[in-house]
Amino acid sequence: MTLRLFTAITSLSALAIGTLASEASAQQPNSANDAFPVCGSGQRITRVVDGDTFWFRGEKIRIADIDTAELSPPRCQRERERGLAAKQRLLDILNSGPLSFKIGARDEDRFGRKLRIVYCDRRSVGDILVAEGLARKWEGSRQSWCE
């Protein structure tokens, strides 16, 4: 299993992104104004979708090592509440410090999302969300948040 690491440098309010490396080619150059808003209307370039998915520079990223409650659609009120809390916390984390991404055994999921283990200030974003009760470790399949 080959692991590749690329780093994105951020400030508290905006991201300054270095060139992202992929197998085929480098993508976009540095930019000082990439902040993470919540996903809504408009272009999906850098936005938070839910507690374990976000857009980063036009690529949809799924945090590979966790699962959070669904928002579209939630199966119960409890799942909705946990999903909203996870989404807000992910937004706060992504805007708080330097990010780095690690590619594991699979590059993409069946929906075309890039699967990445995400770190903020060298700390796993997944571990943070799990420790705060907003996510579960990914065990290969979804579990109910309604029980």
Overall average pLDDT of the 111-132 stretch: 95
Residue 19 sits in which domain range? 4-137
Q: What is the pLDDT of residue 43?
A: 66
Cβ proximity of 108 and 132 under 8 Å: no
Distance CA 22, CA 105 (A): 15
In the prediction, which pLDDT does 10 show?
Answer: 30
100: in domain:
yes
> Mean pLDDT of all residues in the chain?
76
Average pLDDT over residues 109-136: 95
pLDDT attached to residue 147: 82
Asked whether residue 145 is domain-assigned, the answer is: no
CATH number at residue 46: 2.40.50.90
The 10s digit of each residue's pLDDT in 38-82 is 655 566 678 999 999 999 989 999 999 999 999 989 999 999 999
HSE-up of residue 51 (Cα within 13 Å, Cβ side): 29
In a domain, 144, yes or no: no
22 vs 128, which has greater pLDDT? Answer: 128
Q: How many domains does the chain have?
A: 1
The separation between CA 82 and the C-alpha centre of its own chain, rounded to angstroms, equals: 16
Task: Kindly state the DSSP code that residue 108 receives in the 8-state scheme.
Answer: B
Q: Cis (ω within 30 of 0) for the bond into 73?
A: yes
Examine residue 31 and state whether it is found in any structural domain, yes or no.
Answer: yes
Q: How distant is the alpha carbon of residue 41 from its chain centre?
A: 19
Any domain includes 147: no
Q: Is residue 143 part of a domain?
A: no
Range with lowest mean pLDDT among 22-26, 58-62, 88-92, 133-137:
22-26
What are the strands, taking DSSP E only, across the chain?
Answer: 4-10, 15-16, 47-50, 53-56, 59-63, 66-67, 99-103, 114-120, 123-124, 136-137
The DSSP bridge partners found for residue 116 are 63
Q: What does the pLDDT read at residue 46?
A: 85
Alpha helices in the chain (DSSP H): 77-94, 125-131
- Judge whether 118 lies within some domain: yes
